[in-house]
Amino acid sequence: MTFRARLLLSYLILIALPLFVLSTLFYRTSLNVVTEQAQKNVYAVVKKNNDVIDTKLGLAEQNSRALFVDKDLFQIFNNLHPDHEEELVAADRQVSTILSKYFSQNEDVYSAQLWTTYFSFGTTRSMPQGDPAQSQIYKEAEQAAGKMVWYPTYDFIQMFNQSWLKKGTFEYRYLFSATRLLNFSHMDDSTLVKLKPNVERPVLTISYKSTVLDEMFEQSIPAGSTYMVLNQDDIVVASSDKEQVTKRYKRDWIETLHAKGSGSQRLKLDGRNQIVSFDRSEVTGWLSIVITPQSALVSGLVPVIRTTTLVSALALSGVALLFAYFILGRITGPIKKLMSAMRLVGDGDFQTRVEVARNDEFGLLSQRFNRMNDRIQMLVKENYEIKLKEKEAEIHALNMQMNPHFLYNTLNIMNWTAIENNQKELSKMLVCLSNMLHYTSRKEWGAVHLSEELEWMRNYFYIMGARFEGKFGVTYEIEPSLYEEKLPRLLFQPFVENAIVHGFSQLEEGGLIGIRGWTESENRYFEIRDNGRGISKEGIEAILYKDSASIGIKNTISRIRMAYGEEYGIRITSVPGEGTSVVIHLPHNT
């Protein structure tokens, strides 16, 4: 063997041994890092799903608390004679209307009813339940004595003994329900009035289709994953395996998950390495579990890691061969260029590119580096866009809170107007309301021109003016330049409503609302001033800084700060007996 051959062989051996060790370590480390990151991502999805589910189901618990002190329900059941059929029918219509007010806005609720041993009130869907008072749902609600009971998914046929439905297909076959025994009461002149002792307390039952949970998981978990939701007794509330729903899922490893409550583990189930992510609902106490095969999470990345490792090994081997045939300068030159580019990338310059002037291994490395840099830059951009979309979604969520609140108040005012005025002005009010609803129900909830906002306010003032029969008047003083700028929708309504409903509550006539707009330097200001009874200093503090009933005002402040920044918002000044001034501070169009 010649010296040249021996030198090449020795060099290859010296390179091959550490290269093999490093490649193996790199492959295993990369695979482990990718797996851990994927595990964190799946757990984050489970946590996010549980937060969304808690938000949806938490609405039912909040609304059910409100029913305890509903005066109309109290009077219906306190004065109801169960043996009078005509009273039961009339009460059913009234209860249906009341329940609709609380639950119809929640599209996830399938049905809301009040059960007693003598009648089921509020039946909005044709569900042949027989005698629901004999069901296990009803009995557990009675035992809970007023606490909320979340009953896991059940077979409607078995629960209500409707065996004749077995051969049919219907959408309410599998439901889960929230139940609560309602002991109504209300305040009458600072006195708490309770139901008569002999009055049967009804059981509120809010039912959901099991598909509500299925849709949440099926749209978010990784491909190849399975999911299940278990209650405290391991009854399957929802599952990707529909055969398991309503059955008990008893496994040793489930007990560990119940004990921890939330987290992510790697387990070997059915002979396969699985990543189990789980989290307990704060509302229902149910455990959401997502089981993902480890191979499914990294299957798309393993070939990339393997190829990258192999390419790196081949490239380094090529460098070893070239080093034997070419001078050091020709070999170290490309390395220096690549290192310089990598240093720039390490400092945050992801636009750095290495010129590809050769077709050998160094040229291949340069191409890979450029592609990697392009990918990193794209990922940074995607992450930035995702954060922007999250910000927009948060703003949109705050905006949408205004719709049902204002719609309910407006419809209530129209109802009283129709009653008090013998429906003479109803047609005009309906036209105004139609315009208002069209304005507030657009799919796009971006900023609007000031002229559009004022047109909406004129419709609003007409309705309020008809309701309060000329109690107040309105004046406008707006700089012309402001009409071309945009501002958040429904910006003035909460403050105008406060002025009319609260500020003029002690006036019969002579109320005046002034809306003024002007600019100062780079800022816009809008003032809503009234000559009503005013607000105390404590009242202003409560509106701005404490939890209170001023939902509209708090949402408006949040929307302003979300859209423009924390330095913008509102300022309230008031003199009791003389009136109130609200100044809104905004920047120019941004």
Cα radius of gyration rounded to whole Å, the chain: 34
Domain annotation covers residue 556: yes
| Residue 410 shares a structural domain with residue 493 | yes
Residue ranges with strand state E in 300-449: 448-449
> What pLDDT sits at residue 435?
64
Strand partners, 586: 524
| Residue 246 shares a structural domain with residue 352 | no
Domain annotation covers residue 34: no
Strand partners, 415: none
Distances (CA, A) of 39 to 226, 267, 309, 373: 14, 12, 23, 25
Domain annotation covers residue 557: yes
Domain annotation covers residue 54: no
Strand partners, 275: 266, 292
Domain annotation covers residue 25: no
Picking from 353, 371, 392, the residue at the C-terminal end of a domain is 392
Asked if 95 contacts 127 with a C-beta cutoff of 8 angstroms, the reply is no
Residue 467, number of CB atoms within 10 A of its CB: 21
Picking from 298, 325, 346, the residue at the C-terminal end of a domain is 298
| Residue 406 shares a structural domain with residue 425 | yes
| Residue 454 shares a structural domain with residue 561 | yes
Residue of 397, 385, 396 whose CA lies nearest to 447: 396
**Residue where the block lists tokens 């609304």:** 63
Domain annotation covers residue 43: no
Compute the distance between CA of residue 349 and CA of residue 338 in angstroms, rounded to an integer: 14
Compute the distance between CA of residue 406 and CA of residue 489 in angstroms, rounded to an integer: 13
Domain annotation covers residue 7: no
- 80-86's contacts with Cβ under 8 Å and 24+ in sequence apart are 80/199, 82/116, 82/118, 82/119, 82/200
| Residue 268 shares a structural domain with residue 280 | yes
Compute the distance between CA of residue 9 and CA of residue 30 in angstroms, rounded to an integer: 30
> What pLDDT sits at residue 314?
75
- 414-421's contacts with Cβ under 8 Å and 24+ in sequence apart are 414/463, 416/467, 417/463, 417/466, 417/467, 421/466
Residue of 409, 397, 589, 412 whose CA lies nearest to 496: 409
Distances (CA, A) of 57 to 52, 84, 148, 211: 9, 36, 12, 14
Q: How big, in percent rounded to 5, are the helix, strand and coil portions of the chain?
A: 55, 20, 25
**Residue where the block lists tokens 């229902």:** 284
Please give the distance of CA 253 from its chain centroid, rounded to a whole number.
31
Picking from 392, 409, 443, the residue at the C-terminal end of a domain is 392
Residue 181, number of CB atoms within 10 A of its CB: 20
Q: Environment class of residue 76 by beta-carbon count within 10 Å: exposed (0-12), middle (13-18) or buried (19+)?
A: buried
Sequence letter at residue 52 = V
Structural domain including 436 reads: 401-587
Q: Parallel, antiparallel, or unpaired for β 203-209 and 185-188?
A: unpaired
**Residue where the block lists tokens 């109690």:** 471
φ, ψ at 173 (rounded to 5°): -60, -45
> What pLDDT sits at residue 298?
63
| Residue 284 shares a structural domain with residue 387 | no
Sequence letter at residue 73 = L
Query: Would the CA dihedral through 532, 538, 541, 543 be positive or negative?
Result: negative
Domain annotation covers residue 44: no
Structure tokens at 461: 């003032």
pTM: 0.48
Compute the distance between CA of residue 467 and CA of residue 418 in angstroms, rounded to an integer: 9
Structure tokens at 452: 């559009």
3-state SS, 139-194, equals: HHHHHHCCCCEEEEEEEHHHHCCCHHHCCCCCCCCEEEEEEEECCCEEEECCEEEE
φ, ψ at 511 (rounded to 5°): -70, 145
Q: How many separate domains does the chain show?
A: 4
Compute the distance between CA of residue 181 and CA of residue 64 in angstroms, rounded to an integer: 10
| Residue 200 shares a structural domain with residue 271 | no
Asked if 369 contacts 337 with a C-beta cutoff of 8 angstroms, the reply is no
> What pLDDT sits at residue 328?
46
| Residue 386 shares a structural domain with residue 308 | yes
| Residue 438 shares a structural domain with residue 570 | yes
| Residue 63 shares a structural domain with residue 203 | yes
Structure tokens at 164: 């004749």
> What pLDDT sits at residue 327?
46
Which CATH number fits the domain that encloses residue 253?
A: 3.30.450.20
Residue of 358, 308, 314, 312 whose CA lies nearest to 333: 358
| Residue 433 shares a structural domain with residue 570 | yes
| Residue 283 shares a structural domain with residue 352 | no
What stretches in the chain show pLDDT beneath 70? 1-12, 123-126, 296-302, 304-305, 317, 319-336, 350, 362, 389-390, 392-412, 415-416, 418, 423-428, 430-431, 434-435, 437-445, 547-550, 590
Structure tokens at 453: 């906002």
Compute the distance between CA of residue 507 and CA of residue 485 in angstroms, rounded to an integer: 35
Which CATH number fits the domain that encloses residue 573?
A: 3.30.565.10
Which CATH number fits the domain that encloses residue 81?
A: 3.30.450
